[in-house]
């Protein structure tokens, strides 16, 4: 049996460095394939403010066949942002990086309720009227449900995020 050649190692390294490491900030890892752009939408990031962001889509993962990954330099996430992330990326891990090291790693947790961050798409819902009512969604296994009108939403949850 021969030792792995440098060439093989070089190839492995290239795979690992597909999205480069960050200095200080947050790595949202193990995001469900195809959800990276929705993660950016939830974080309100569109690049217009000069944020330093790297994303990988459909990159190889050992945990699942493929994953997305989002790395944001100089930013930590709020509890509300993590709650909404959990709805579209239930297996995600949130890694806080300081001076190139992962100093904290948390799995997202699905909250029972998401309040005041999403808008109900039902135009006749009381929360759509000009009333002082705080939006509230119950989190189900594979969907969310408006606590006021019962509308169930399974897809495109990111598009309901309050601007
Ligand atoms: N990472 C990064 N920049 C750093 C440190 C880590 O972008 N300075 C990224 C890694 O590339 C990885 C994620 O943050 O995608 C988590 O890093 P780490 O905990 O070192 O990796 P794993 O042990 O593979 O994580 P897990 O077990 O959660 O898959
Ligand atoms: Zn509603």
Distance between Cα 136 and ligand 2 center (Å): 8
> What confidence tens digit (pLDDT) does each residue in 16-60 have?
567 889 999 999 999 999 999 999 988 889 889 999 999 999 998
pTM for this model (two decimals): 0.83
Atom of ligand 1 nearest to the CA of 71: 7
Rounded to whole angstroms, the Cα distance separating 72 from 54 reads 7
Same fold, 13-107 and 113-160: no
Rounded to whole angstroms, the Cα distance separating 33 from 126 reads 34
Distance between Cα 151 and ligand 2 center (Å): 6
Helix (H) or strand (E) holding 69: strand 66-73
Examine the pLDDT at 15 and tell me if it is beyond 60. Answer: no
Q: Which residues contact 77 (CB under 8 A, 6 or more apart)?
A: 26, 28, 43, 85, 94
Domain 113-160 has CATH 3.40.50.1370: no
Distance between Cα 61 and ligand 1 center (Å): 12
Domain boundaries, the chain: 13-107, 113-160
- Return mean pLDDT, the chain: 87
Examine the pLDDT at 99 and tell me if it is beyond 70. Answer: yes
CA atoms within 13 A on the CB side of 150: 0
Q: Which residues contact 7 (CB under 8 A, 6 or more apart)?
A: none
In this predicted structure, what is the pLDDT of residue 97? 96
* H-type alpha helices, the chain: 6-16, 36-43, 79-88
Architecture of domain 13-107 in this structure = 2-Layer Sandwich (3.30)
């Amino acid at each position: 049996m021969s030792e792995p050649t440098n060439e093989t190692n070089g190839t492995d390294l290239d795979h690992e460095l597909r999205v480069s490491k960050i200095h200080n900030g947050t790595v949202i890892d193990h995001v469900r394939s195809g959800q990276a752009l929705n993660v950016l939408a939830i974080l309100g990031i569109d690049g217009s403010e000069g944020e330093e962001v790297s994303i990988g889509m459909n990159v190889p993962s050992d945990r699942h066949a493929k994953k997305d990954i989002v790395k944001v330099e100089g930013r930590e996430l709020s509890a509300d942002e993590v709650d909404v992330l959990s709805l579209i990326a239930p297996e995600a891990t949130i890694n806080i990086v300081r001076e190139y090291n992962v100093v904290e790693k948390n799995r997202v947790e699905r909250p029972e309720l998401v309040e005041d961050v999403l808008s109900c798409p039902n135009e006749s819902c009381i929360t759509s009227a000009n009333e002082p009512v705080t939006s509230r969604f119950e989190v189900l296994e594979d969907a969310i449900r408006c606590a006021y009108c019962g509308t169930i939403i399974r897809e495109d949850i990111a598009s309901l995020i309050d601007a």
